[in-house]
Amino acid sequence: MEFLLSCVIVILALILIPNIKIVPQAHEFVIEFLGKYKTTWSAGIHFKIPFFEKISKRVTLQEQVLDSPPQPVITKDNVTMQIDTVIYYAVYDAKLFAYGAVSPISALSNLAATTLRNLVGELELDGTLTSRDTINAKMTSILDEATDKWGIKVHRVELKNIIPPKEIQNAMEKQMKAERERRETMLQAEGHKAAAITRAEGDKQAMILAAEGERDARIARAEGESRAIYLKKKAEADGLEALKKAAADAAVLELKKYEALVAMSDGKASKIIIPTDAVDMTKANVMFSETTGLGDTTAPGKDAPVAKKEDPCGGEPFA
């Protein structure tokens, strides 16, 4: 009896222990009862009824990446190129993911390929190469809306590579080279233009500064000459004022006139015409000076000593 009980306990343990299930974090298990959906297990420990329940689908809720292989796409201007995409998605409903489509991932890949062909077919080659962000946004919106019934959330779609034909690549390289040469030529021309303008402005500024310097120099020279003439005339006026205060007679004034005339000649071969009255006055002054001795600056000479004769009689010498 005890042996039979032990056998029953062992059999129950072998049946029950395998039906204790642990669901990992970020995972969900879809459970069916007799072939019909019953529930969805979230993370934790669960017990499955033996022989009646089974795990239909194990679903990962983490974000996943679907890397599609390159596929041929024809643009609006009939250029065939190879484009591959990368899709970032995550399952948000395990039940829809299990029963919404036979192969949801394959369906997503095919839907991405057809959507890409439709979008690129509306663009030309240049538009395709320069509209990556637009294509990515449109594909994300279309795929996300289409996969809602499959329990899939499309977060982002990226065009990984756009490979045009070889001849198109060569033409693009030539075009790019020509564009760079054109830009280089324009930059050089702009540089020469800027340099010429700078030189012209420098020459203009130099000429303006030179003219201003010459003008200031002329003004300074004119002011100096004006000042010199003013001082000279002022000195002459002061001299005349001094003569007037000294009550100089007519003879002295005539001599001053004569000195002024001599100064006018300045040692040059100039003819000076002296008025008769000035000559007469000068002669009168000279005769007056010789007669009276006034105005003669020469010191009077001493008389020569007279030798004294000796007295033959032995007396005092006499003159």
Cβ atoms of 51 and 106 within 8 Å: the answer is no
Distance CA(180)–CA(3), nearest Å, equals 94
Distance CA(43)–CA(26), nearest Å, equals 7
One-letter amino acid at 68 equals S
Cβ atoms of 229 and 236 within 8 Å: the answer is no
pLDDT exceeds 80 at position 274: no
Distance CA(206)–CA(217), nearest Å, equals 16
* Integer angstrom CA distances of residue 297 from 68, 71, 162, 251: 133, 133, 123, 18
Bigger pLDDT: 243 vs 82: 82
Average pLDDT, the chain: 80
Cα dihedral sign, 201-203-204-208: positive
pLDDT exceeds 60 at position 316: no
pLDDT exceeds 60 at position 277: no
The two tokens of residue 202 are 């420098």
Cβ contacts of 122 within 8 Å, gap of 6 or more? 76
How deeply is 133 buried, as exposed, middle or buried, from its count of CB atoms within 10 A (0-12, 13-18, 19+)? exposed
Could you read off the pLDDT of 66-100 as tens digits, one per residue? 998 888 998 888 888 899 999 999 999 999 999 98
Provide Rg for the chain, Cα atoms.
65
CB atoms within 10 A of CB 62: 9
State what percent of residues in the chain have pLDDT above 70. Answer: 76
pLDDT at position 264, please? 60
Could you read off the pLDDT of 204-223 as tens digits, one per residue? 999 999 999 899 999 998 98
Distance CA(80)–CA(101), nearest Å, equals 32
The three-state secondary structure class of 62 is coil
Could you read off the pLDDT of 15-58 as tens digits, one per residue? 778 888 889 998 999 999 998 999 999 998 988 888 888 999 99
Q: What is the separation of C-alpha 1 from the centre of its chain, rounded to a whole number of angstroms?
A: 100
Distance CA(134)–CA(54), nearest Å, equals 45
What backbone torsions phi and psi does residue 225 show, to the nearest 5 degrees?
A: -65, -40
Distance CA(244)–CA(234), nearest Å, equals 15
Distance CA(241)–CA(245), nearest Å, equals 6
Cα dihedral sign, 195-200-203-205: negative
pLDDT exceeds 60 at position 286: no
Its pTM stands at 0.54
